[in-house]
Structure 1
Amino acid sequence: MSSQSLPQADGSAAAHKPLNSPAEVIGASLVGTTVEFYDFYVYATAAVLVFPKLFFPSVNHTAALLASFGVFGAAMVARPVGAIFYGHMGDKSGRKATLVACLLTMGVATFCVGILPTYGQVGILAPALLLILRLTQGFALGGEWSGAALVATENAPENKRALYGTFPQLGAPIGFIIANGLFLIINYSLPHPDGSAMQSDAFLSWGWRIPFLFSAVMVAIGLWVRSKLAESETFKQAEKQGVIVKVPLFDTLRHHFKAVVLGTFAMLATYVLFYLMTTFSLTYGTASSSASPAGLGIEYTDFVLMQIIGVVFFGLFTLLSGPLADVVGRRKLLIWVTVIIIVFALMFPIFLDDKSGTSFSGALVEAFLILGFTLMGFTFGPMGALLPEMFPTNVRYTGSAIAYNVSSIIGAALAPIIATALWSAAGGSTWMVGVYLAAASVLTLVALLLTHETKDMDYNGDLGVSD
């Protein structure tokens, strides 16, 4: 197989008329990624506050915490497997059916976490079931993003593909705000007379289950929205031309391996920045200033509210990045944003190493969060168009899914571990963490320089045909 443009049935590759309304496209592409990131934030919080106590009891708190994070990281390993499975399904059977399957699988697994018995009730079976459900979540998430991105971009009007590609990306800030907002509401609603935020008896008994059970509401809405979708005309044309391949994975690796590698590293800085701004910054910000390694000593609820302010900028600039990428091009925009991320990374100590606890140091931290999340919006937004555009229609789901999810292992799965180790090695300073982000960004910059601009490609006519 090789990639080549073919005309549409009416003889014009440009004669592409979306079959779904803008509202249907926005809803179908946004809801799944919102649930995806909502699930990540809910699980990450529970992995620190709840699971070590209820599922991994140990006399050593650190061992219990590491076991909890180990299950959390297991999802990252399962995601590339899901990418291959759902990529195959999406490139063979269509985008609509695959997206419904992803969301249903993810929704059932997340809901089941909320009704799991604890270690005290069923013993070792409890963490085993938690691991199985976490692997199931990761498996489903492996196919979610690419399908959502394809629904958005393959139904986009002419010259608005990057704008439509930002719709699934908005799931990250929206999911963050919903998940953390819900945890804050639960925290303020339940009594915790011991003063330990979100660790009251009521929270540990049943309060922690609410966010997992609530995901069923969003999944139900998502399934309803996605059931109303029509299959994209682009995929229908690929079927009509007879260019659907038997094993998309083989064709992807045989003819588009370079695109997979470049796409993986083009996404690397985005993943590392994302997890530093969310997971690591929360850990560093709430760690005691007298601990080893030392943190900022900010109360959990206060820091989450500071993060939510930053995430508002994340959402705004994600949306803004789409029209900008449609005008100047994905590659040019991402190159400049990546250069700025490198500069930002080397400034970490200026923003974060003042542990005096004064209003000035607090303002520096908020400025760090706003600037970091703004850059996150600018680098994350165009990826919804860039990665799918690197592959022809008949392997687009598989290729973009593999690149996106392999990058999640290199960047997302390793970022919190590497950042924590560097923070500790630097004696509580963040300068080495910044260097780590800068190094990842350099790799992304090289990948972007080796790619071609995809803004003006014949996206709906590039079906992929047999030699």
Structure 2
Amino acid sequence: MEQVTGERIAPQTSARRVALACLMGTSLELYDFYIYGTAAALVFGPLFFPEFSPLAGTLAAFATFGVAFIARPLGAVIFGQLGDRIGRKALLILSLLVMGISTFLVGLLPGYAVIGVAAPIILVVLRFLQGIGLGGEWGGAVVMASEYAPPNKRGFYASFPQLGPMIGLLLSGGIFLLVAGLPDEQFNAWGWRVPFLISILLVAVGLFVRAKIAETPVFQRVVETHSEARVPVVELFRTYPKTLLLASVGCSIQFVYFYLVAAFAPAYGTAQLGLSRTTMLYCVMVSAVFIGLGSILFATISDRWLGRRTLVVLGTAYLGLLAFPFFWLTDTGNPVLVAVALSLGMFGIGICYGPLAAYFSEIFGTRVRYSGTGLAFALGGVLGGAFTPIVAQALFASTGASWSVSLYVVAMAIVSLACNLLLPKGRRDLAFDEVEGRGAGRDAVGQRT
């Protein structure tokens, strides 16, 4: 049984400062990640797959978008293995570098017309590296914020990295709006590259902030007692196999909705509803505010009133019920109603997403916490995010109606709901050493204490 004291050691850095540093890092990394999704919806089809039809080109662009999700579990394993062995801080700096450099290089990449088939191949490689970086980012950020937070405010402080999607979407959407007003010829030639190139400046700021925070007291105690897991990933699969599986599938519905809004909706709105790309970007940006509001609100509620698993279950049910109304509103083609539909979806994600960081941190022990939280979230991204834009596009193409996409969303919500109901409750009232002293050092699925 692992015994790790954590919150009882005087921290070298305040919980608030750590939370803000984690927020800045996830915001910048998710900005890098999302500008790719926007570019895939708006320009990558004709630029990198010009020999395809418009529909096939969009599908191919979304396929490259999905490559990063395949890479995310690998990134979670690599960074989790190192983060549970040598510490959280160094790996968070490395993940930011991997994401930032690969994103910057996408902005320099010539199109198919210049270097031929090498262009989409290099694009896929750079997207894969983006996935590696993001796979290491989320687990490390939420673990660091959680391990610094006092137990009675763990949900609140751990939700700061969860605001990354809101800030990342607002940044990426805002910068794309600045260049979206260019004539199509200029936008396709160089305008789309601007958001990728300026990302290197944002990454430099993130590195500066993260370099000033200290390692978590919880992990410092692990090092002092020489209780690190020899091979964290192996120990994770040995001690938490059911928790890992259920957590991965349980969070997948959040990715389904997020990438319906952030990736599929811009392409759907411009191609099928006749809305301008500027209008769709505004709609996505408005909706981004609601994932942030939902996340911070329900993370705080999880500290005071309802439990974290309860909120995740309620949020998952809400997202399943929203599947058909989401497209009823969107299909009106009215920009206001489209924004309402996207915002309802993002707010529903926030119900689950806000408490999720602290919840995942509580159901995995310190020796494998970085690996467990990161890998569960990354696998959820593969199941829910990697294929949602391309599946939604293919379903609509085959049926000509949005109800088929709604059915897909309902099916994913039902599966996620079943898994979330089988997960153990979090331990919001206990310090991490007390959590681990009461059973978090083994697979706790089925415990209802």
Query: What is the TM-score when the length of structure 2 is the normalising length?
Result: 0.91
Name which of 233, 236, 253 aligns with 1:252. 236
Partner-residue secondary structure (3-state), 1:160: helix
Offset, 1:408: 0.8
List aligned pairs for 1:96-135, cutoff 5 A.
96-135=89-128
Map of 1:148 onto structure 2: 141
Name which of 355, 361, 370 aligns with 2:343. 370
The structure with more radius of gyration: 1
Shift in alpha-carbon separation, 1:342–1:116, aligned structure 2, 3 A: closer
- The answer as to whether partners of 1:28 and 1:151 remain within 8 angstroms in 2 is no
* Letter aligned with residue 120 of structure 2: P
Offset, 1:369: 2.0
Name which of 6, 10, 17 aligns with 2:3. 6
- The answer as to whether partners of 1:335 and 1:448 remain within 8 angstroms in 2 is yes
Offset, 1:171: 0.6
Name which of 368, 381, 406 aligns with 1:408. 381
Deviation per residue, 1:142-168 (Å, 9 max, x gap) = 111000111111111231111111111
RMSD across aligned C-alpha pairs, in angstroms? 2.2
* Letter aligned with residue 323 of structure 1: T
Name which of 272, 275, 279 aligns with 1:302. 279
Offset, 1:127: 2.5
Partner-residue secondary structure (3-state), 2:110: coil
Is 1:178 matched up with 2:171? yes
Name which of 431, 436, 441 aligns with 2:403. 431
User: Could you tell me how far apart the structure 2 residues matched to 1:367 and 1:48 are?
Assistant: 21
Shift in alpha-carbon separation, 1:465–1:72, aligned structure 2, 3 A: closer
Partner-residue secondary structure (3-state), 2:108: coil
Map of 2:290 onto structure 1: 313
Deviation per residue, 1:277-328 (Å, 9 max, x gap) = 22222222222xxxxxxx3222221122122222212211211111111122
Name which of 355, 367, 378 aligns with 1:382. 355
User: Where does structure 1 differ by over 6 angstroms across 4 or more consecutive aligned residues?
Assistant: 463-466
Partner-residue secondary structure (3-state), 1:347: helix
Name which of 310, 313, 318 aligns with 1:340. 318
- The answer as to whether partners of 2:19 and 2:158 remain within 8 angstroms in 1 is no
Is 1:262 matched up with 2:238? no
Map of 2:154 onto structure 1: 161
User: Could you tell me how far apart the structure 2 residues matched to 1:14 and 1:44 are?
Assistant: 39
* Letter aligned with residue 295 of structure 2: T
Offset, 1:426: 3.9
Q: Between Structure 1 and Structure 2, which shows a larger proportion of helix residues?
A: 2
- The answer as to whether partners of 1:24 and 1:225 remain within 8 angstroms in 2 is no
In structure 1, the gaps of 5 or more residues are 193-198, 288-294
User: Could you tell me how far apart the structure 1 residues matched to 2:120 and 2:320 are?
Assistant: 40
Offset, 1:424: 3.4
Is 1:224 matched up with 2:208? yes
Shift in alpha-carbon separation, 1:285–1:65, aligned structure 2, 3 A: closer
Offset, 1:460: 4.3
* Letter aligned with residue 341 of structure 2: F
* Letter aligned with residue 281 of structure 1: A
Among all aligned residue pairs of Structure 1 and Structure 2, give the percentage whose two residues are the same amino acid. 39
Shift in alpha-carbon separation, 1:17–1:447, aligned structure 2, 3 A: farther
User: Could you tell me how far apart the structure 2 residues matched to 1:187 and 1:351 are?
Assistant: 25
Partner-residue secondary structure (3-state), 2:360: helix
* Letter aligned with residue 233 of structure 2: L
Shift in alpha-carbon separation, 1:296–1:205, aligned structure 2, 3 A: closer
- The answer as to whether partners of 1:18 and 1:155 remain within 8 angstroms in 2 is yes
User: Could you tell me how far apart the structure 2 residues matched to 1:167 and 1:156 are?
Assistant: 11
User: Could you tell me how far apart the structure 2 residues matched to 1:424 and 1:465 are?
Assistant: 48
List aligned pairs for 1:280-291, cutoff 5 A.
280-287=264-271
Shift in alpha-carbon separation, 1:323–1:36, aligned structure 2, 3 A: same
Most deviating of 73-82 and 455-464? 455-464
List aligned pairs for 1:343-358, cutoff 5 A.
343-354=321-332, 357=333
Offset, 1:364: 3.2
Instruction: Count residues in correspondence.
Output: 437
* Letter aligned with residue 152 of structure 2: N
User: Could you tell me how far apart the structure 2 residues matched to 1:47 and 1:166 are?
Assistant: 29
Query: What is the TM-score when the length of structure 1 is the normalising length?
Result: 0.88
Shift in alpha-carbon separation, 1:88–1:451, aligned structure 2, 3 A: same
In structure 2, the gaps of 5 or more residues are 443-449
Map of 1:290 onto structure 2: none
